[in-house]
Structure 1
């Protein structure tokens, strides 16, 4: 507290009461009330999640318990699409589109030839059902007790589903399930995080989960981070949603709404270069490829998301660097072995020579040159550009190469963290309750967070 409290006893009492709360590290007078700083331990991931971070995780657990208990999108045991709704319409995403999404996700995982999978955040079991006949062992984790109970009721040899969050991959319950299904000391050869990173709170949590995953996977195995929302496309996504909600709105009004939507976004978005940067901290050789989503229908899942495959201690040496000077795109060269970059994505670019990821994938599928399966990739430095790798392994590059594309950038410019938005809403609620108890007759002040905290800088 500062000397100003000497002249304002009520302010001094309020500040003093706030400083007794274990979630508060600092409190001061602000221009419109009181400004507080959360205690760092409330936002920590390790050794155990702090109180505010834990509340954030519990919020998502409650959301998905409700979603899976309602089972509004459950078509069958293997196709439970509950919770999959379009942001622009609010309606369930079309079943045919989601079936296409599931098939292409399954194909990507199986292209890595795994036999022992650990899936962190298995949800309703879409990938469990799609993959299990191809595996010798599968362990899934999820924060939803409803999902875990439903999936555990189906007894399948070599399969286990346990209640655990993504940061608990090394917990006793997950370790026990891995031992029971894979054998003592046997590692998974694929750690899968699909459609789950959007529920992560912040960079610290993402780093902890990814480093655990890379450390756990067997040499030569993969860590697949799938269906990731791209941080570089947040503004584009928000404009797209707002324009869809009111097609007749003036451009400046759409922009105003888009900026507000982006500021209040409650899910995590990640630039693939940030994941590459984290991978370089793992102490293992990692190569990677950033895959575009190639479904036929134009939805947010196709436009604004990507899959990233990390190859850990790979047998093959990857290309040294991602091409910094794109090759001139030429539709006639799509059957040529190697890596062709600089292709405009027609979902995000109106240029005459642009092409959709789906059309590129169809071109590759119709080849008959014997080169082998190809891959449609996303340019790590430009999400509006695509690339084609023939064969798919030609698109793998060293993690250091992709991380270097973001040299000099603040890590937090490569990520949208939802935790600051959550804390800015939740902490004042808790502290108002605290003040009502400590000073029942006092008029409650407006409480806000330090700018550095709300910006995600801790």
Structure 2
């Protein structure tokens, strides 16, 4: 005779699975033989386009709340144009040195101005570290941010020829942003530079990065630039977390540190990616885009100098003679006995040239290694750019003149090494979707004992 209790339990479990499968964030739900409810997220819940799906939206909302609180407390506010709130070292948790952050700001401003912009749209302007320094030097500046407190403060700062709008990075083409650009730039006039600095770490995955890039490339004027700055490099995550864990526990065994690093990388809640990931995204865009990869050249050795880089996307074909084929590619000859400035002057004297294969002394102890800052200092007064090797983040390069930087990228991306990206969205979905479903099932089936809920196929992220 059938066990009525077992039969009733089976019916209840099937009802629970059916209710979970009917949730709009779920495409499939099934019970395993051991009673685990496996659920697959619906593609619309994790979509980046045409608008962010609900799980992507929740990920973005988390960061919005973080920065709203950070800017509201303003614990790092030194002056109206120098609010360093939120800028802390990962290993100590202490605020990064003010002098270092001033250097960080100066280097970023210098990179932007080197592109010769007149009308700039900055997405994620934050406390205005860049806006205060760029707006007075441009014909027009429009800044957006998700934090209302930041937008309100900057709107009241009285910056010339500037406007500020509350909007997310993917909302470049929304009416409020378009209206602000028309107000500042003129009717029908587009920006010749779109800037996104120190924001991509808050993105959920490469699909959202792709949505942002396609939007930015659509809005920018032909011949202009899209600058994506202060990017966390996916290929250096192990080095970064290794230093953090070693700083926390100097006496730990190497095997213990390695295990902690693997766990920290897997649980990292910020996006990081290599230049090759962006190159794949750009290949699907209809406009001609050339990319240069720039090293961070601050004097102080911190995670901002070691593990981050800048991208400049040049929209449109190369003007005049600035062709990749006309640029000589020379290997690093080594330090030798000559002063670095003399060595560089000789190496770069033979016309348009990219000097590649320079070991980065912040990341390797190779005998011929040089820091990005030392390269910048040695190149003072010359028309040259200090670059990061687009394929190997432990190597640097120098392009002279600076407008040949894209030639270095073309060479070094032929065989990229290391991880393409680390995307936080899959882990976020694995945490969040079971929470949402448990709340949903408790409301619809009060008093029912719920099975353990596991995400069967969290989104892996894709370049679209």
TM normalised by structure 1 equals: 0.92
| 1:41-87 Cα distance to aligned partner (Å, 9 max, x none) | 11112222211111111111111000000000001111000010110
Tell me whether 1:453 sits opposite 2:458 in the alignment: yes
For 1:333, the equivalent position in structure 2 comes to 343
Decide which moves more: 306-315 or 123-132: 306-315
Contact 2:197 2:227 in 1 (8 A): yes
Contact 1:321 1:401 in 2 (8 A): no
Contact 1:287 1:318 in 2 (8 A): no
Matches within 5 A, 1:290-301: 290-301=293-304
From 8, 12, 15, the counterpart of 1:13:
15
Alignment partners' CA distance in 2, 1:92 and 1:350: 28
Alignment partners' CA distance in 2, 1:149 and 1:234: 35
**Structure 1 unmatched ranges of 5 or more:** none
* Structure 1 residue 393: Cα displacement: 1.6
Q: CA 1:321 to 1:280, structure 2 compared with 1: closer, same or farther past 3 Å?
A: farther
Alignment partners' CA distance in 2, 1:70 and 1:304: 28
* Structure 1 residue 321: Cα displacement: 10
Q: CA 1:116 to 1:318, structure 2 compared with 1: closer, same or farther past 3 Å?
A: same
Tell me whether 1:272 sits opposite 2:272 in the alignment: no
SS in 1 for 2:94: coil
Alignment partners' CA distance in 2, 1:58 and 1:107: 32
Alignment partners' CA distance in 2, 1:390 and 1:266: 38
Q: Which structure is larger by alpha-carbon Rg, 1 or 2?
A: 2
For 1:308, the equivalent position in structure 2 comes to 311
**Structure 2 unmatched ranges of 5 or more:** 1-5
Q: CA 1:89 to 1:398, structure 2 compared with 1: closer, same or farther past 3 Å?
A: closer
* Structure 1 residue 361: Cα displacement: 1.0
* Structure 1 residue 398: Cα displacement: 8.7
TM normalised by structure 2 equals: 0.91
SS in 1 for 2:130: helix
Q: CA 1:396 to 1:36, structure 2 compared with 1: closer, same or farther past 3 Å?
A: same
The RMSD of aligned alpha carbons is 2.4
Alignment partners' CA distance in 1, 2:236 and 2:35: 34
| 1:125-177 Cα distance to aligned partner (Å, 9 max, x none) | 11000111110100001111111111111233420110000000000100000
For 1:196, the equivalent position in structure 2 comes to 199
* Structure 1 residue 329: Cα displacement: 3.8
Alignment partners' CA distance in 2, 1:238 and 1:182: 44
SS in 2 for 1:126: coil
SS in 1 for 2:294: strand
Alignment partners' CA distance in 2, 1:148 and 1:97: 25
For 1:26, the equivalent position in structure 2 comes to 28
* Structure 1 residue 341: Cα displacement: 0.5
Alignment partners' CA distance in 1, 2:13 and 2:328: 59
For 2:98, the equivalent position in structure 1 comes to 95
Count of paired positions: 445
From 401, 416, 419, the counterpart of 1:391:
401
Contact 1:65 1:144 in 2 (8 A): yes
Contact 1:141 1:162 in 2 (8 A): yes
For 1:77, the equivalent position in structure 2 comes to 80
* Structure 1 residue 394: Cα displacement: 2.3
Q: CA 1:357 to 1:239, structure 2 compared with 1: closer, same or farther past 3 Å?
A: same
From 401, 414, 422, the counterpart of 2:428:
422
Contact 1:287 1:398 in 2 (8 A): no
For 1:343, the equivalent position in structure 2 comes to 358
Alignment partners' CA distance in 1, 2:263 and 2:328: 36
Contact 1:84 1:93 in 2 (8 A): yes
| 1:68-120 Cα distance to aligned partner (Å, 9 max, x none) | 00000001111000010110101111101100100111111111111100001
Tell me whether 1:113 sits opposite 2:116 in the alignment: yes
Contact 1:138 1:181 in 2 (8 A): yes
Q: CA 1:321 to 1:57, structure 2 compared with 1: closer, same or farther past 3 Å?
A: farther
For 2:324, the equivalent position in structure 1 comes to 319
Alignment partners' CA distance in 2, 1:236 and 1:259: 11
Tell me whether 1:145 sits opposite 2:148 in the alignment: yes
From 225, 229, 232, the counterpart of 2:228:
225
For 2:437, the equivalent position in structure 1 comes to 431
